[in-house]
Each structure stands twice: as structure tokens, then as C-alpha cells.
Amino acid sequence: MKVSTRARYGLRLMVELARELQKEDIVQLNRIAKITHLSENYLAQLAIPLKEAGLIVGVSGKKGGYLLGRIPEGIKIKDIINALTGPIGLADCVNSPEVCLNYSFCEARMIWTILSGRIQEILDEFTLADLIDKDKVNAIRKEYSRMAFLNPDLVLAESDTETTDICPPAKNRLKLNVRKQNNCLNKGFGK
């Protein structure tokens, strides 16, 4: 299961916009395009649903650009993802049970619904302000350090110096499945 490219890049847009607004009064998309290495046209497409949701405000004119629609502390990550892709539902039947004839007795739907709900809870737990504050980011990384590849630079740097059959060099590490990533962490890589 993957988060859509639209959601990932839209969140990047919001993080960089909030970060740049700490230095500037207004930020143009070409500035964010340079930072993120995304096309300005694609960022403009992502900005549309973010504007419609009131998360950003566009300012017209030669010196125009974008502002946040609310303070960073008031923008939940859930708000950003929902604006870009709609509510998280790992299966169509989660948000629209009527699409499946088995919805009332399907045990699998129960799991997808619970998992979708937990994802929404996590996204609701963090704000844009959390992602632009280095101290908060470090605290989050520390709290969730048990998760494979939360700190990829650390894991990959360690794997370059110590390798085993289970933990290949960094250039091959990203090809590992989650079970093998966890084995690497259990052997002391990334801790």
C-alpha cells in the first residue's frame, strides 16, 4: 500500500511553503519548484485543491504567490492529504460500503476500515508546524525510532560499514522487503 504521488508531493509543497514563509512574506511556486525539484506546472495543479480547502491562499500580481490559509499549527496533515486525495480508504468499501455485496459480513472490510481509521488518526495527530520545527521533527524521529527506515541516512550509513548476508550494502538496501529491513534493524542496523 502506497500513499499517492499527489499526496506525497502536495505535503512537500505545504512543508516548503510553510518553511519559506518563515523567511518571506509571500512565496512563489517557482521557489518551491527549485527546492523540491518538481515542475512549477505540477505544483500549480496541486495548489488548486489546497486553495479550495482553504489551506493556502493565492495572491495575484507580478509579486504574487502563495500564503498559508491558516497558521501552521492549525493545519493537520490529515487536512492536506484529504484535500489532495479525499479521505483515506484502503479499499473502496471502506468509505462506500454499498459498492460491495459482502460489506455487512466481510471480515476483511473490518480490517481495512480499522487500518484506514488508524491512518487517519496518525495524520490527525501531526500538524504542518510539527514538520517545520527541527526540535519536533527530532522528537518524532526519536519516539518512532523503532520503525525501519524512519532515519534512512543513519541506516544506510551503518550498512556501508558493516554488511551481512541479511543486510546488503546501502545501494541494494532499498530493494529489501519490510521483513528483511526489520531483520537488519534487529541485528543492530539503524538503532
For the stretch 40-97, pLDDT in tens is 999 999 999 999 999 999 999 988 999 999 999 999 999 999 999 988 887 777 877 7
Domains assigned to the chain? 5-135 (1.10.10.10), 145-186 (no CATH)
Residue range 158-176: mean pLDDT, rounded: 50
CA distance 113 to 107: 10
Q: Which residues of 23-34 are buried (b: 16+ CB within 10 A; e: fewer)?
A: eeebbbbebbbe
Reported as type and span, the H/E element at residue 59 is: strand 56-59
Q: Cα angle at 158 between 178 and 161, to 5 degrees?
A: 125
Q: What is the pTM of this model?
A: 0.76
Residue 6 has pLDDT above 50, yes or no: yes
Residue 111 has pLDDT above 70, yes or no: yes
CA distance 22 to 188: 38
Residue 183 has pLDDT above 80, yes or no: no
pLDDT value of position 166: 45
**67 forms bridges with which residues in the sheet?**
57
Q: Residue 97 has what DSSP assignment?
A: G
